Amino acid sequence: MTATQTNQSDAVAFLKTHASCGASDVDDVIQTHGALVFLHKVEALKIKRAVKYDYLDFSTLELRKEMLHRELDLNADAAPGLYRDVVPLTRDADGTLALNGDGAVVEWVLRMTRFPEEAELSSLAARGLIDTPLANDLGQSIAQYHQNIKTRHENARVLIEEIIDELAREMGGMHSQLGHALIDAFLTASRTELARVAHVLENRTQAGWVRRCHGDLHLRNIVMWKGVPTPFDALEFDERLGTCDVLYDLAFLLMDLSLQGLNAAANMVLNAYLFHSRTDDHYTGLTALSLFSAVRAGIRAMVDVQTANVSTGAPELIADAKAVLRQAVAFLEPCAPHLVAIGGLSGSGKTTVARKIAPHIGAFPGAVHLRSDLERKAYYQVSPLEKLPAAAYQPEVSDKIYRIMRAKARLALVSGQAVILDAVHATPDERALAAQIAQDAGCDFTGIWLDAPTSLRVDRVDHRGADASDADVQIAQRQDSLQTGEIDWHRVDAGQDLATLVAQVNAYLPKRNPKRP
């Protein structure tokens, strides 16, 4: 239900032909249910529509001013230089309109620096350009974003319960589009899962992970800005909707990547996020990730139906909504955790294989990938690409790194997430301790050892690009003298082509439920 309070036609006509520099024909106008964005050559001008919905109110000039200022405040720090200021659109005594003039205010305008549409992550995803480096950068960027936002004294469990209740009310009128059985399956599974993870949400509330988040963190609201994936257009019209557990905020992005068929990217984003967040709390919080992902998918399905009700292309939107809601139900299906340990000497391809199999193991979006090279850099508080001295690789240091990895693995496994331990695992004791983690967690274990001749390993190390591993040719050669003892893991020839190698490793892993994303 909408109520237009002001005729904005004069403002719209003016902003189509004027920018801060004066006369300037607009290249395009982006229209949403609550805003209009006028794209000029180097500037984007945004106004709020004079509308009122059940969940937002932009019906008065003062409210539109307030919301634009809130949008500026929420986004300026995260996207410096992209958001500029809020200025009035004024009318002089002779009726002339002016941007940031001295006359009577007729509208308020948010000024932004324009960026090319192809810089949006949604565009990059559509063109198949979200590769491993970009996915890692994206996870790191969101982790830093969440570290810099304010903690709110709200209860994570209550907030999610309110959203599920709202979905139930809205979907109550969508049986003809989505089907009673599918809606009931989603709501029943969501409430059951909420009851199961309630204690975790209470603990995360106490730990300070409920924050004033982005609130609308999907691919269209992230842009490559100054070479960095940058969130923008945070949800501004409802502070309660914008307040949530940071993992619920992240889940929107993971779910959106999955809907685009980018499950491998979703897995890499999660792992980069966990690594750069530098807290064990999020490994424990993974217990709630399936619920968070399902609720986000439920919201997407609801919005698709609402959009179909007021637009053309309704059959396609309804079909999409059903598919998304089925995926939401799939997120909530039980999935047993599994521990995979991958060992082998430097250059055998452990990390390459781990990245290939991780998205397909366990609950969405796949296994937590714990890599010794990265954990060592984190231990010394240096960037992943900074080379460490030889002292950082003494046996007593390596023992500490392995203990850190195993501790994180325990947390993730107990939380229901699969785990991959990616390290040399040169000694029988190291391999036995890895298997013991799975036994303690009550889950299955698979050990994979990658065999590769010295010449191949040396060649790979010698031609390796920017990477967290510090292994060089000399280290790869010296490892031939390591006393590995009897290796009772599945031994795989790492000299095969990658597709064959991954297929052979997958043959040793449990089959995944085909319904799961």
Of the candidates 342, 480, 352, 358, the one whose C-alpha atom is nearest the C-alpha of residue 424 is 342
| Helix or strand run (H / E) with residue 318 | helix 314-331
Q: Give residue 3's pLDDT band: very low, low, confident or very high (50, 70, 90).
A: very low
DSSP string, 7-21: --HHHHHHHTTEETT
Cα–Cα distance, 210 to 204 (Å, whole number): 7
Q: Is the pLDDT of residue 161 over 80?
A: yes
Which pTM was predicted?
0.92
Q: What is the CATH number of domain 121-331?
A: 3.90.1200.10
Q: Is 483 exposed, middle or buried (0-12, 13-18, 19+ CB in 10 A)?
A: exposed
How high is the pLDDT of residue 6?
A: 60
Q: What percent of the chain has pLDDT over 90?
A: 85
pLDDT tens digits along 290-306: 999 999 999 999 988 98
Mean pLDDT of the chain: 93
In this structure, the number of other CB atoms found within 10 A of the CB of residue 318 comes to 20
> CATH top-level class for 9-114?
alpha beta
Q: In terms of pLDDT, which residue wins out, 21 or 492?
A: 492
Report the CATH superfamily, name and number, of domain 338-507: P-loop containing nucleotide triphosphate hydrolases (3.40.50.300)
What are the structural domain ranges in the chain?
9-114, 121-331, 338-507
Q: Tokens 């231990």, residue?
A: 379
Cα–Cα distance, 407 to 402 (Å, whole number): 9
How wide is the angle at C-alpha 349 spanned by C-alphas 346 and 353, nearest 5°?
Answer: 145
Q: Is the pLDDT of residue 133 over 50?
A: yes
Q: Is the pLDDT of residue 1 over 50?
A: no
C-alpha to C-alpha distances, 284 to 132, 153, 279, 409, nearest whole angstrom: 25, 20, 10, 10
Q: What percent of the chain has pLDDT over 70?
A: 97
Question: Per the structure block, which two tokens stand in for 102?
Answer: 């001295």
Of the candidates 411, 431, 427, the one whose C-alpha atom is nearest the C-alpha of residue 419 is 411
How high is the pLDDT of residue 258?
A: 95
How high is the pLDDT of residue 310?
A: 72
